[in-house]
Amino acid sequence: MPHALNEPILDWYADNARDLPWRRPDASAWAVMVSEFMLQQTPVTRVLPMYEAWLARWPTPTDLADAEPGDAVRAWGRLGYPRRALRLHGAATAIRDQHNGEVPDDHDKLLALPGVGEYTAAAVASFAFRQRHAVLDTNVRRVLARTVDGTEYPPQATTAAERRTAGDAMPLDDETAATWAVAIMELGALVCTARTPRCADCPVAALCAWRLAGKPPYEGPPRRGQTYAGTDRQCRGKLLAVLRDAAGPVPKTALDAVWEDALQRARALDGLVADGLVEPVADGVYRLPTGAPVNA
DNA sequence: CACTCGTGGAA
DNA sequence: TTTCCAAGAGT
């Protein structure tokens, strides 16, 4: 007997799905993978233009692997979390060198790629290769937390109980499970939103445990807000922006100009170098990574 | 497992 | 204005 969530959500998705480029039938597995990297912690509206430009420039994994990692970092622009650009380049390189240039369709092989974790491996296997996997992103976890568990928000980190819940809720055959995965994700993105859920438009409002319980407010460990101003992250962002906007190597004096605190600035720059996002060229000169071996 | 890692838009 | 948070991964 199918899970009660299946049919209403599949029907709702058939009528309400957004037309996103990575969902079109002609989207390659590589296109799906690129979209998933970009969508990590980043809203769809900001991803769309970068996604188009990226795939136009690097239509296949090998195209990206053959480019310098610094070009990937520069093309990432202001999407945020630029290590994703480096990891996507690393994933492309692994695909070129170990998978004959083709995105692997095996979940474990996907998981072994840099930048691919539990969610992204399941998403690519499901969306691109139409396999049955529990695709647990923030949207899906929130929908299941509300409809099944009766809580406003899921726990901070994904739990075994959530994986079991997701597995139980999935349709049994691969093709339907793949569609359902994107459908419940879309429901979370458009209707069962984090702040002001539109329960009046929800296809499963009638059976939602959280709504039926009177929408009890979230109780649990406070989800600590991420302050940003004055942090190392902001400093790293400023430094990397200088490197991105420059055509070539940049003298340290140009980096010194964008952040007051010298100690924090040095720490941030060290971090960027350690992450491989910045490469020291010569004494007091830095650039985006070339991929060439660094002579120590 | 708690923490780090960017950025910008909406409430 | 401040706060929240958006298709997470890696350590």
Nucleotides of chain C in contact with protein CB (under 7 A) are 3-10
pLDDT tens digit sequence for A83-114: 999 999 999 999 999 999 999 999 999 999 99
Superfamily of domain A28-127: Hypothetical protein; domain 2 (1.10.340.30)
Q: Are A120 and A35 in contact (CB under 8 A)?
A: no
**A143 phi and psi angles, rounded to 5 deg:** -60, -45
For residue A18, which of A59, A47, A57, A61 has the smallest C-alpha distance?
A47
Q: Which residue has the tokens 């957004």?
A: A18
For residue A115, give the nucleotide whose C1' atom is nearest its CA: C9
For residues A40 and A84, what is the distance between their CA atoms, to the nearest angstrom? 9
Q: Which two tokens stand for residue A257?
A: 């100009």
For residues A145 and A275, what is the distance between their CA atoms, to the nearest angstrom? 35
pLDDT value at residue A295: 42
Burial class (CB in 10 A: 0-12, 13-18, 19+), A227: exposed
pLDDT value at residue A219: 79
State the nearest residue by CA to the C1' of C7. A39
For residues A277 and A242, what is the distance between their CA atoms, to the nearest angstrom? 12
pLDDT value at residue A222: 67
Asked if strand C comes closer than 7 Å to A119 Cβ, the answer is: yes
pLDDT value at residue A191: 98
Common-topology check for domains A28-127 and A232-287:
no
A152 annotated active-site: no
pLDDT value at residue A224: 65
For residue A40, give the nucleotide whose C1' atom is nearest its CA: C8
Q: In terms of CATH architecture, what is A232-287?
A: Orthogonal Bundle (1.10)
Catalytic residue among A36, A162, A186, A279: A36
For residue A185, which of A121, A153, A137, A147 has the smallest C-alpha distance?
A137
Which chain A residues in 255-294 sit with Cβ < 7 A of strand C? none
Separation of CA A32 and C1' C5 in angstroms?
A: 23
Using 70 as the pLDDT threshold, list the residues of chain A that sit under it. 222, 224-226, 292-296
Q: Are A222 and A255 in contact (CB under 8 A)?
A: no
In angstroms and rounded to an integer, the radius of gyration of the C-alpha atoms of chain A is: 21
pLDDT value at residue A1: 76
pLDDT value at residue A225: 66
Domain spans, chain A: 28-127, 232-287
